[in-house]
Amino acid sequence: MDTENTYVNALLGAAVTVVFSFAGVSPVLGGATAGFLERRDGAQVGALAGLFASLPMAGAVLLFGGFLFAFLGFGEPFAGGFVILLFGVLFVAVYTIALSTVGGVLGVYLAEEFRD
């Protein structure tokens, strides 16, 4: 399934990242999927897939982190707990985008290596 639309390939890669999010290397898998489908500009499509995938993943961090801070009493609202939660969201976003970029480059390499 080779599509010419970069956004469709990036969305498919983001879907793979979110579905396999229980694995630590899911951004690499999603980026590789997007890069393999795109077959060119692996870093660009991988980073775009990481950006799309980081939105629901950062939302999950906000949801569960907010639950911990609010209901279990870890930190004060609008104080240190808010800063820790913000750093958690930032970490997840950077982690996802960076590993998806690497996966995108790897996916283009695999597409070239195993060309039909």
pLDDT at 75 over 90: no
How do the domains of the chain map onto residue ranges? Answer: 6-113
Q: How confident is the model at residue 3 (pLDDT cuts 50, 70, 90)?
A: low
Percentage of the chain lying above the pLDDT 90 cut? 54
Rounded to 10°, the helix 42-71/6-19 angle is 40
3-state helix/strand/coil string of the chain = CCCCCHHHHHHHHHHHHHHCCCCCCHHHHHHHHHHHHHCCCHHHHHHHHHHHHHHHHHHHHHHHHHHHHHHCCCCCCCCHHHHHHHHHHHHHHHHHHHHHHHHHHHHHHHHHHCCC
**Burial code of 52-70, b = ≥16 C-beta within 10 A, e = fewer?**
bbbeebbeebeeebeeebe
d(CA 39, CA 16): 17
- Each residue's pLDDT tens digit, 87-114: 989 999 999 999 999 999 999 999 988 8
Q: How confident is the model at residue 74 (pLDDT cuts 50, 70, 90)?
A: low
pLDDT at 48 over 90: yes
pLDDT at 28 over 60: yes
pTM of the model: 0.85
